[in-house]
Chains A and B, each alone.
Chain A
Amino acid sequence: ETGVTQSPTHLIKTRGQQVTLRCSSQSGHNTVSWYQQALGQGPQFIFQYYREEENGRGNFPPRFSGLQFPNYSSELNVNALELDDSALYLCASTAPTGIAYGYTFGSGTRLTVV
């Protein structure tokens, strides 16, 4: 299996709700990162997982959390949704050789909070 697959593609939630976004990485890619891309801006790093452990985090509050599973799938969970959480959420994975290899991105999940 090749590529990075994200689901769902679009989602509408109400402020205060919780959401789970899913990602399936390429086989052998044991590093996965999540990014938030607000409209008209560049993606912002949320956090990274390596071998099921978080090993890096950007400037996002604890209500953003994640999980990585042994089968190269992962989740991004956001609690207590706020209107500003409306964005495109991108999952990216890379091979064990690391960042110089380049990340493969999924097509993203468009989250709208109303």
Chain B
Amino acid sequence: GNSVTQMEGPVTLSEEAFLTINCTYTATGYPSLFWYVQYPGEGLQLLLKATKADDKGSNKGFEATYRKETTSFHLEKGSVQVSDSAVYFCTLGGDYKLSFGAGTTVTVRA
């Protein structure tokens, strides 16, 4: 079945540091890939998406590229802010459902 493995946290960074969260997936067919973000006490928000191989999703300075050859969808941001502190979920869409990774907690210190 479909599954997602993402880098375990927690991750603590200083403001303006570079952020990478690794994500790999296992899937049949041609899934869509997403990154969702969950701020403290809130539900999930779609951060970015990619629907086919070599697509690059981007939003709010975050980027991720759908790499079919390495089955990866790593999330990157060049300069993080305190407001980026949240839990990030790598997510695979297929078979009528979303399959989530365990989540990576990111804390950005001023």
Contact = CB atoms under 8 A, between A and B. Distances in A.
Interface of A: 6, 33, 35, 40-45, 48, 55-56, 58, 90, 92, 99-100, 102-108
Given A41-B102, A42-B89, A42-B103, A99 B96 contact: yes
Contacts of A108: 43
A72 to B, nearest CB: 17
Nearest to B31: A99
| Interface size bracket, B side | 20 to 34
B64 to A, nearest CB: 14
A105 B97 contact: no
A107 B87 CA distance: 14
Nearest to B47: A102
Contact of A48 (B94, B97, B101): B97
B103 A41 contact: yes
A108 B103 CA distance: 17
B98 interface: yes
A33 B102 contact: no
B98 A103 contact: yes
B87 to A, nearest CB: 9
Given A99-B94, A99-B96, A102-B49, A90 B101 contact: no
Nearest to B96: A56
Given A90-B43, A102-B32, A108-B43, 11 more contacts: A56-B96, A92-B44, A99-B32, A99-B97, A100-B49, A102-B46, A104-B46, A105-B36, A105-B43, A105-B45, A106-B43
Interface centre among A40, A45, A102, A108 (most CB of B within 10 A): A102
